[in-house]
Amino acid sequence: MNTVSYYSLSTNQQQDFFNYLSQVRDPSPAFDNMWAEDWNAKSNTLPYILNKTEKFRPGSGDYFVVYDNDTIVGMGGVCYSSFNKFIALAGVRTWVNPHYRNRALLKEHLLPYHRAWAVANKCRQIALTFNDYNKNIAEIFKRNRAGTPRLEHNLFYNGLEELKFPVIIQKTPQWVIYERLDSSWNFNWDCISQK
C-alpha cells in the first residue's frame, strides 16, 4: 500500500482519481459527498472541496489517497477544525473501496497520516466526527482487534475519549470521538454542544 497526498499527485493522476470516483457505484449516503457529475456546482462534494477551497490545502489540512499498486483503495482528509485551531478533524470525506473493506485499512494506511499531520501542525487534540446516520461507525474505532495494539503512529494511541452528547459543527449535529495529543490541554466541548 502507498499513501500519498492528493496535492502531490500529477495533473494526470488527479484526473485518474476523479475518473475513479465517477465510476464508483456506492449507494451509501456518505458517497453523496464524494462525487457528483456536476461537482463544480456542489460545494459538499470532494472534487469541489479539493479544487475550489482551501480546506485540505497545505496550511489548512491535507487529503490522502491510498493505492494498492495502481488501484485506488481508500481516501480521506485531515484539517484544522472550524471551531478551534488546536483541534484537528481526521477521517474527513473518508471512503474505502468496497473490495478493500473489513481489513482495517484506515487504521494502518490512512489515519496514521492524519495523526502525523496533526502532530506536525501542533494540534492538541484530534477528532473523528460522525453524522447521526453513521454514528455507529464510531464503534469500529473504539474497539481494538485482538493482537493489534495501538502503536504511537496509530490514531488513539493516547486513548480514545467520547462525547456523550452531539456537538454542532458547521451547522450539523455531530458525534465526536477524540484523542488528546497534549494531555495538559483542555477544550470545553460543551461550548459547541447541541442545545
Long-range Cβ pairs for the range 172-176 (8 Å, 24+): 172/131, 173/131, 173/132, 174/129, 174/130, 174/131, 175/129, 175/130, 175/131, 175/132, 175/135, 175/138, 176/127, 176/128, 176/129, 176/130
> Which of the ranges 56-64, 101-109, 118-126, 169-177 carries the binding residues for ligand COA, by CB under 6 A?
101-109
In contact, 37 and 48? CB cutoff 8 Å: no
Instruction: Tell me which of 2, 24, 53, 103 binds ligand COA, using CB under 6 A.
Output: 103
Q: Which amino acid is it at 175?
A: W
Instruction: Tell me which of 10, 102, 170, 188 binds ligand COA, using CB under 6 A.
Output: 102
**Among residues 7 and 133, whose Cβ is nearest to ligand COA?**
133
Instruction: Tell me which of 50, 73, 106, 192 binds ligand COA, using CB under 6 A.
Output: 106
| 24 counts as binding ligand COA under rule CB under 6 A | no
Binding-residue pattern over the window 31 to 70 for ligand COA, x denoting contact by CB under 6 A? ----------------------------------------
**Among residues 162 and 190, whose Cβ is nearest to ligand COA?**
162
Helix intervals (H) in the chain: 11-23, 46-52, 105-109, 111-120, 138-142
Question: What is the longest distance spanned by two Cα atoms in the chain?
Answer: 47
Residues of the shown chain interacting with ligand COA in the complex, contacts defined by CB under 6 A:
28, 30, 91, 94-96, 101-107, 130, 134, 136-137, 140
